[in-house]
Amino acid sequence: MPQSGLPEVTVPRRLRAPAPGWTATADVIVVGSGIAGLTTALRLRRRVDRVLLVTKTVLDEGSTAWAQGGIAAVMSPEDSPAEHIHDTLVAGVGLCDVDAVEALVREGTDAVWDLIALGAEFDRGDTGGLSLTREGGHHRDRILHAGGDATGREISRALIAALDRVRDDPGIEVIEHALVVDLLTDADERVCGVTLHVIGEGQVDGVGAAHARAVVLATGGLGQIYASTTNPSVATGDGMAAALRAGAVLADLEFVQFHPTVLWLGEGSRGQQPLISEAVRGEGAFLVDEAGERFMQGQHPLADLAPRDVVARAIIARMRETGTDHVYLDCRHLGAEFLEQRFPSIVQRCRELGFDPATQLLPVAPAQHYASGGVRTDLRGRSSLEGLYACGETSCTGVHGANRLASNSLLEGLVFARRIADDLTTRLAAGELPEATPVAPAGQPELIRGKRRLDVQRAMTAGSGTVRSAASLAATEQTLAGLAARAVDDDADKQGGPKSWETTNLLHLGRALTYAAALRDETRGGHVREDFPARDDAHFLHHVHLRRSGSGVLEATVVPVPPSNLDGLDLDGSGASTPLDVLDKARAEGTVTTKPLARHTQSVDQTVDDTKETQ
Ligand SMILES: Cc1cc2nc3c(=O)[nH]c(=O)nc-3n(C[C@H](O)[C@H](O)[C@H](O)COP(=O)(O)OP(=O)(O)OC[C@H]3O[C@@H](n4cnc5c(N)ncnc54)[C@H](O)[C@@H]3O)c2cc1C
């Protein structure tokens, strides 16, 4: 097994928080109200008696509502599941779980049609057909979008409207401003609830305990772990951190996607930064350097539409060569009229910030965008802990491997939420996952002050960010260990609060991510390992699984990936004998057929039956 070279890392079992002052019960607790949490809760409530949906702030706060580009799915007869699968596997650089990708793509089409039937309105062309576009790494037009570049907002609106229609149903309870702090476990380490802090009224106020037969974590990503990210402020990795502390396996944490084209607002900019969607390049925008020279041509056959890691690396290389901290995106030739109609939100945001994409070059640089790893699950969404499920960006289903293909994450949340709801329905009806009694966790709780957040972010950006090395990872861990060591001195924040809980979550995840990153020499997927620049398949093909042992020490298991995972993948984009060629040939020979898209003819006016199903 490779050595991380880092000292032992310990993580406590829980965060310091007041003892629960109230208790609630449910069959299933769903944590988070993005596409993953809302889809799970809506599907569950039709079959399970008591569903409790809790969310940290308000229902539409999360990455889902920020998604611009769209949702990928095979919706056109020109496309095929095999091609979407191939593009996903190539982006994941051989580390995807092929079964998970198959499930994503093959169930994705129906899941999207169901979303449309639920009320999501995607953009359509003049003849009324769905308008499909293309993004980096996709070889076919398969990205559905809404409101031009407001896809996530529309999906979020449709799901919340569906929830509002059933809100009076006694089978579902929704609590907003409810921050889950930790997971409750019984004597057999089965997850049986959560502790949560609610800003509420009456009985449900302050820290309480919610007990359930199962918990679904759908808390989104961890973008706030870095100084600069496209993720909203709620993306503090709370669910991943709670799962880590409870002993669940986390996988592929080191694979963080840095989006190549985030508007560069100057060196001091912190927190959520404006994203310039890949779809803008999909419509013809291209990258240039300081001298106005295009630099993506010749780097990859897809040039400016190469997979994100390729584009991000090329930008980083060009910034280093020219000694600058950004490059430029040229959209001017697309024209004001087209840009305003196709990308209304992006254009408006740019103009608010003093940049006009129709007349000016946009300064852009890579920033954190997506967590490809997370709580390791199987194809049913089950984690390594009985009673605990994870969905959406919090999870690691194996769909993304080393790098997520653009617009596959909304699809993943949608498809795996359905799988989780179906699995839980079957298990609860069969009497599995009986109610359990939580036991008090062993060991000392930990908490650092909220004001230390910038220290965590700076350390992660400097050493565990886009450019990494053994030395930079070691320096980051040293800083983070120093912050953890000072936790005991942070008396002023003894009982904690949202800011300090979130910041401690970032610290725990930062240490885990850095540890996992140090176990991987050559790396791909949005970031660069500068001390291992050459491709090295033999040492690359593994997953790092991390879990907290009973003593609190992080234990890593290196899980090899068979070299055959790379077979047939056109990883360098040379196009030589790719599976697409093989597919085309097979189609011509009639040995492969495109899956019929029967639901294309379905009326989009169909509404989903909201009535409760009987078991
Ligand atoms: C700017 C931007 C653009 C993007 N564009 C695209 C795109 O075009 N296509 C695509 O496929 N993907 C895109 N993505 C990624 C995609 O939006 C996310 O991966 C996806 O929406 C995640 O969905 P989710 O349900 O897992 O999490 P989220 O939508 O992030 O929801 C997480 C939920 O958990 C809640 N929560 C967090 N912590 C707690 C806690 N402790 N207690 C209770 N609740 C908690 C949050 O408040 C939130 O409700 C984009 C992301 C960003 C940031």
DSSP state string for 425-462: HHHHHTT-S------PPPS--B---GGGHHHHHHHHHH
Select from 15, 64, 176, 229 the residue to mutate for testing ligand 1; criterion: most ligand atoms less than 8 Å from CB. 64
Q: Which of 87, 187, 152, 100 is nearest to 573 (CA)?
A: 87
The closest residue, in CA terms, to atom 9 on ligand 1 is 407
CA 466 to ligand 1 centroid distance, Å: 21
Residue ID of nearest Cα to ligand 1 atom 21: 64
Residues 6+ positions from 244 with CB-CB distance below 8 Å: 11, 250, 508, 509, 512, 546, 547, 548
* pLDDT score at 256: 94
Cα-to-centroid distance, 601 and ligand 1 (Å): 31
CA 365 – CA 392 distance, rounded (Å): 26
For residue 406, the model assigns a pLDDT of 86
How many A from CA of 393 to the centre of ligand 1?
A: 7
Classify each residue of 172-182 as buried b or exposed e, where b means 16 or more C-beta atoms within 10 Å of its C-beta. bbbbbebbbbb
Nearest-CA residue for atom 36 of ligand 1: 219
The tens digit of pLDDT for each residue in 149-178 reads: 899 999 999 999 999 999 989 899 999 999
Q: Which residue's C-alpha comes closest to atom 33 of ligand 1?
A: 32
Q: What is the pLDDT of residue 567?
A: 78
The answer to whether 496 and 16 have CB atoms below 8 angstroms apart is: yes
Residue from 40, 71, 410, 500 whose mutation best tests the ligand 1 pocket (most atoms within 8 A of CB):
410
Which residue lies with its CA nearest to atom 47 of ligand 1? 56
Residue 178: in which H helix or E strand, if any?
A: strand 178-185
Q: How far is the CA of 369 from the centre of ligand 1 (A)?
A: 10
Ligand 1: atom nearest CA of 412 is 11
From the number of C-beta atoms within 10 Å of its C-beta (0-12, 13-18, 19+), residue 301 rates as middle
List 71's β-bridge partners, or say none.
144
Q: In ligand 1, which atom is closest to the CA atom of 68?
A: 8
SS3 39: helix
Atom of ligand 1 nearest to the CA of 392: 26
Written as one letter, the residue type at 587 is R
Q: Residue 612 CB: number of other CB atoms within 10 A?
A: 15
How many angstroms separate the alpha carbon of residue 206 from the centre of ligand 1? 25
Q: pLDDT (tens digit, 9 = 90+) per residue, 108-120?
A: 999 999 999 999 9
Atom nearest to 391 CA in ligand 1 = 26
Q: How far is CA 95 from CA 84, 396, 440, 464, in A?
A: 16, 12, 38, 20
Kindly list the averaged pLDDT for each block of 10 residues, start to end, along the chain of length 615.
80 95 97 98 94 97 94 95 93 92 97 97 94 86 92 97 94 96 97 94 82 98 96 98 98 94 89 90 93 92 83 88 92 96 93 96 94 97 98 97 92 98 97 96 90 95 92 97 82 75 98 96 79 84 94 95 78 49 44 33 35 47
- Ligand 1: residue of 35, 157, 345, 409 to mutate (most ligand atoms within 8 A of CB) is 409
Kindly give the number of the ligand 1 atom that is closest to the alpha carbon of 145: 8
Residue 4 pLDDT: 72
* C-alpha to C-alpha distances, 257 to 119, 177, 372, 470, nearest whole angstrom: 31, 29, 7, 19
For residue 83, which of 138, 148, 8 has the smallest C-alpha distance? 138
CA of 569 to the centre of ligand 1 (A): 29
DSSP-assigned beta bridge partners for residue 468: 529
Whole-number pLDDT of residue 498 = 93
Ligand 1 lining (C-beta closer than 6 Å): 31-37, 54-57, 61-64, 66-71, 151-152, 178-180, 218-220, 230-231, 234-235, 238, 275, 370, 392-394, 407-410, 413
57 burial type by CB count under 10 A (0-12 exposed, 13-18 middle, 19+ buried)? middle
CA of 572 to the centre of ligand 1 (A): 30
Contact predicate 441/14, CB 8 Å: yes
Residue 281 φ then ψ, to 5°: -70, -30
What integer pLDDT is reported at residue 268 of this predicted model?
79
* Residue 135 alpha carbon, nearest atom of ligand 1: 8
Tokens of 370: 């997506």
- Ligand 1 centroid from CA 231, angstroms: 8
State the distance from the centre of ligand 1 to the C-alpha of 559, rounded, in angstroms.
28
- Residue owning the nearest CA to atom 26 of ligand 1: 392
Determine phi and psi for 299, rounding to 5 degrees.
-85, -25
Kind of pairing, strands 271-272 and 228-229? parallel
Q: Taking the model in full, what pTM does it have?
A: 0.91
Tell me which of 155, 199, 219, 233 to substitute to probe ligand 1's pocket, judged by most ligand atoms within 8 Å of the beta carbon: 219
Report which ligand 1 atom has the smallest distance to the Cα of 152: 17
C-alpha closest to that of 398 among 103, 106, 97 = 97
- Beta-carbon contacts of residue 269 (< 8 Å; ≥ 6 apart): 228
Q: Which residues are catalytic?
A: 308
